[in-house]
Structure 1
Amino acid sequence: MVNLDLEKISLPGLDLERPWVIAGPCSAETEEQVLETAKKLAAEGFKIFRAGIWKPRTRPGAFEGVGTLGLPWLQRVKKETGMFVGTEVANANHVFEAIKHGIDILWVGARTTANPFAVQEIADALKGTNIPVLVKNPVNPDLELWIGALERINQAGIKKLAAIHRGFSTYDKTKYRNHPQWQIPIELKRRCPEIPIICDPSHISGKSELIYEISQEAMDLGFDGLLVEAHRCPEKAWSDASQQVTPENLKEITDKIVLREPKIGEKPRVTLDELRQQIDKLDTTVLETLKERMKISEAIGKYKKDNNITILQTRRYDEIMNNRKAKGAEMGLSDEFLTKLFESIHEESVTRQNKIMNQ
């Protein structure tokens, strides 16, 4: 377990009920665009506005945000719509400027979270403030790095702290821009049970048509809120156009979301416990089967050593993968799941055989 000194995130006069939604354009482009988008979101009932003022981009030449020039635009949003406003910060100067301009919520981006030096600089700049801070997962699937960033911010005295799950970069071809790898935020919640977790379906999906699906899945996992990119005219956005929705679309999405209770009620408890006991028994069977499989792998390793045969037999590996995926498909198991499963099993088998070869 990770011990964080937290208090409930609140904003003056706003009770943050699940799911709380933070919405606005990926980038603040012009004062007109910011205000029009904010007014449309406010008209749909959204209370917290987001806009990227400084934009870390993968390559130079892309639009990197308007910078401090855009902060007065967010001040106008607060004054004219009554919405709270938030933006991303990546260094100490960003923190100072944002607080000076009355920004209500700050978040640390995925690229910054991956750099402990940058996170510590932000943490030092935050000392003495009580502003809510949200920390995105790092671009790579490293839970310790994510927790470390949360700890650094918390140790600076920030108690209104939350995590943002925005998915992870991957070379694999999937339907997502950033693969959700839900098991990582689930493990974060297990180790830090008090930390609120917000989902960023825009960056996970990379496509506006997937935002509802991902948002619903996040709510089904008990997440606390959503950070969504919404633009007055997404197709004309200066950054990440394909993953932004209109304020009207966002309202349709949030209205469709089904909220389920994060806690188990007393009534179905016995049935659920029985089902969990069945899973426990099956998991024990799986573990025992894997134990037997590894014994056989070790016997194969000894045979290969005695007969001077290389460990890796590509043809046999391809045979196993194709055969298991075909059988698994007949049982309703996905190709992606089976690939990960048998790649892990094969990796462990190779490791054990390698130890035997080098004894």
Structure 2
Amino acid sequence: MKASRTPINVAQDSSFRHADGKLVLIAGPCSAESEEQMLKTAQQLKAINGINVFRAGIWKSRTRPNSFKGVGTVGLQWLNMVKQETGLRTTCEVANAQHAEEALKHGVDILSISGRATVNPFAMEEIAAALKGTRMPVLVNNPVYPDLRLWLGALERLNHADITDLGVINRGFSADEQYPYRSHPRWDHMLQLQQMHPELPLLCDAAHIAGRRSLLYPVSQKAVDLGADGLLFESHVNPAAALSSPQQQLMPQELDLLINAIESKVRLEGTNYLVEQLDDLSQQMDSVDKELVDLLLRRREVSQKISLHQMGDVQESLQVSRWQQELDAWLQREDYTQMDSGFVKSLMEALQQHRKGPADGVESSAVA
């Protein structure tokens, strides 16, 4: 999607791009859970070379109301304790102006704008107003769906509030086909933003994209190969007991090994190839889906022509008999043996219903 090239004013002395080219590394638990969990995790992360920002989820935006929503403001007190005890800078995600104001009050060093706020211009206006007059460094997560205008609009609103220490995070996008990722990386979208605004530091939230430990390395390495300035990880002293996203969090010592592999440009056998294959297969899936829609549109045209020559009950009886023969033939084909027979039958029934055409008053729009 095209977006305007309105200049983004980015501070030269950025918090999100190291002059020596080293990666900006941010790590911490998906969610703040207890004072002990926060401090233990932070103390172990501080020992990892390159990590100087501690992240933790304070408010968790959940689709369903009964899900764990984070500990709230008390978690900001724990973040402040982490800063005092370890010297690490701190960051958390905010989704509205009240979150931003609370974070400022408790001394959080860096704010990260939630992807659900990025997609909401009203929320962005209010957050920008809350930050006006500060020198707060701000990272802007991509909107949930790939829309460069919304992503850039969020940055422009922050600029209007005189916030210039800015960076962006590719945390992945919602997509119809995103398996095996938790959120599809849409590297092409990231590169488009990078090309439009090379002055804008770009980080990658490897944990949120991968959604599983096995993909953390290839996703991270791919991001670095494409020019990302930094990476975000989720780390917990006991991932198995985590209250949110245990499958994508690493123990600090595991994260240390991962970072060493990335910084030394180790090519773990098969990992980069895996991501490249996944991206290629995803593009193939998109192409097949487009071809399928084109075929269905062509089929609809033929169906409409058939409807002009209907022959009443005789023709209907012949079509039902032919449909049953076609269904039986499909289910017996060798290349369909691995497909669910229920899915094949449902598809054939939908096509048969659509075939009846507008003349019968039962034209179905589900397939068309």
Deviation at 1:347, TM superposition (A): 6.0
Paired residue for 1:75, among 71, 76, 80? 80
User: Which residue pairs with 1:109 in the alignment?
Assistant: 114
Paired residue for 2:34, among 27, 30, 36? 30
Assess if the C-alpha contact under 8 Å between 1:6 and 1:194 holds in 2: yes
Which runs of 4 or more aligned residues in structure 1 lie more than 2 Å from their structure 2 counterparts after TM superposition? 8-11, 14-18, 333-354
Task: State which structure, 1 or 2, has the greater radius of gyration over its C-alpha atoms.
Answer: 2
C-alpha distance 109-218 of structure 1, shift in aligned 2 (>3 A)? same
1:86 aligns with 2:91: yes
What is the CA deviation profile of residues 94-153 of structure 1, one whole-angstrom value per residue up to 9, with x for unaligned ones? 111111111110001111111111111101101001111000011112121111111111
Deviation at 1:77, TM superposition (A): 0.8
1:244 aligns with 2:244: no
Unaligned runs of 5+ in 2: 266-278, 305-368
Assess if the C-alpha contact under 8 Å between 1:39 and 1:81 holds in 2: yes
Match of 1:130, SS state, is coil
Q: CA–CA distance in 1 between the matches of 2:125 and 2:193? A: 20
Match of 1:58, SS state, is coil
Paired residue for 1:162, among 147, 167, 173? 167
- Give the AA of the match of 1:225: G
C-alpha distance 209-85 of structure 1, shift in aligned 2 (>3 A)? same
Q: CA–CA distance in 2 between the matches of 1:118 and 1:193? A: 26
Match of 1:167, SS state, is coil
Q: CA–CA distance in 1 between the matches of 2:292 and 2:80? A: 56
Deviation at 1:336, TM superposition (A): 3.3
1:174 aligns with 2:120: no
TM-score by length of 1: 0.73
Deviation at 1:65, TM superposition (A): 1.2
User: Which residue pairs with 1:142 in the alignment?
Assistant: 147
Comparing 165-174 with 35-44, greater Cα deviation is found at 165-174
- Give the AA of the match of 1:5: N
Deviation at 1:338, TM superposition (A): 2.7
User: Which residue pairs with 2:287 in the alignment?
Assistant: 341
What is the CA deviation profile of residues 221-272 of structure 1, one whole-angstrom value per residue up to 9, with x for unaligned ones? 0000011111111111011111111111111111111578xxxxxxxxxxxx
Identical aligned pairs, as a percentage? 47
Aligned CA-pair RMSD = 2.6
1:6 aligns with 2:10: yes
- Give the AA of the match of 1:7: A
User: Which residue pairs with 1:256 in the alignment?
Assistant: 261
Deviation at 1:91, TM superposition (A): 1.3
1:200 aligns with 2:146: no
Q: CA–CA distance in 2 between the matches of 1:27 and 1:169? A: 21
User: Which residue pairs with 2:363 in the alignment?
Assistant: none
Q: CA–CA distance in 2 between the matches of 1:229 and 1:104? A: 18
Assess if the C-alpha contact under 8 Å between 1:19 and 1:224 holds in 2: yes
Assess if the C-alpha contact under 8 Å between 1:2 and 1:192 holds in 2: no
C-alpha distance 8-211 of structure 1, shift in aligned 2 (>3 A)? farther
C-alpha distance 226-115 of structure 1, shift in aligned 2 (>3 A)? same
Q: CA–CA distance in 2 between the matches of 1:32 and 1:16? A: 35
Q: CA–CA distance in 1 between the matches of 2:45 and 2:20? A: 17
Deviation at 1:73, TM superposition (A): 1.0
1:218 aligns with 2:164: no
Assess if the C-alpha contact under 8 Å between 1:167 and 1:178 holds in 2: yes
User: Which residue pairs with 1:60 in the alignment?
Assistant: 65
User: Which residue pairs with 2:128 in the alignment?
Assistant: 123
Unaligned runs of 5+ in 1: 261-332
Deviation at 1:340, TM superposition (A): 2.2
Match of 2:70, SS state, is coil
Assess if the C-alpha contact under 8 Å between 2:177 and 2:282 holds in 1: no
Q: CA–CA distance in 2 between the matches of 1:15 and 1:93? A: 34
Assess if the C-alpha contact under 8 Å between 1:230 and 1:250 holds in 2: yes
